[in-house]
Amino acid sequence: MSPSMRRNLRRVEETSAGGLVVDGNDMAARAALIGRLDRRGRLRWSLPKGHVEAGETAEAAAIREVAEETGITGRVLAPLGTIDFWFVAEGRRVHKTVHHFLLMAQSGELSDEDVEVEQVEWVPLTQLAERLAYDDERRLVQAVPTLLADTA
């Protein structure tokens, strides 16, 4: 896309939230990851996330989105970090900011019933980096061992 075409696109700001829900507070714990199909039909593992609704805090949105996409309800332990990026969709140039949190599982059962999710799995914390499809999410989860030690 040429620079002049990009300048003519309407700029839009979007905010999402999500995170990593774990089932324990040490390195023997597991984390719930979701698998979505990309445009080429490949399964890509990532952290659950979605739009922050009007009047909702990022923390509340993260709890809701994690529960909707994994079946697990958690409570926020700590912020994991924020990722922001740009993309073009539907004639718009979108700046998306995603707030991620570390959550401790409280209730529920792992479920892939959300229409946006192809699969859901509990993954050992020691395997997170190799399973996550996106570099920015792999960077965020590097802080998990320290955050869990601080909450133990």
Domain limits, the chain: 3-147
Give the predicted TM-score (pTM) of the model.
0.90
Tens of pLDDT, residue by residue over 95-106, are 999 999 999 999
What is the enclosing helix (H) or strand (E) of 98?
Answer: strand 92-108
Instruction: Indicate the fold that domain 3-147 takes in CATH.
Output: Nucleoside Triphosphate Pyrophosphohydrolase (3.90.79)
Are 143 and 105 contacting, i.e. CB atoms less than 8 angstroms apart? no
Residue 49's nearest CA partner among 88, 25, 89, 15 is 15
Per-residue pLDDT averaged across 102-123, rounded?
94
Report pLDDT for 16: 97
Per-residue pLDDT averaged across 44-72, rounded?
97
Share of the chain above pLDDT 70, in %: 95
The pair of structure tokens assigned to 79 is 């912020």
| Banded pLDDT at 125 (limits 50, 70, 90) | very high
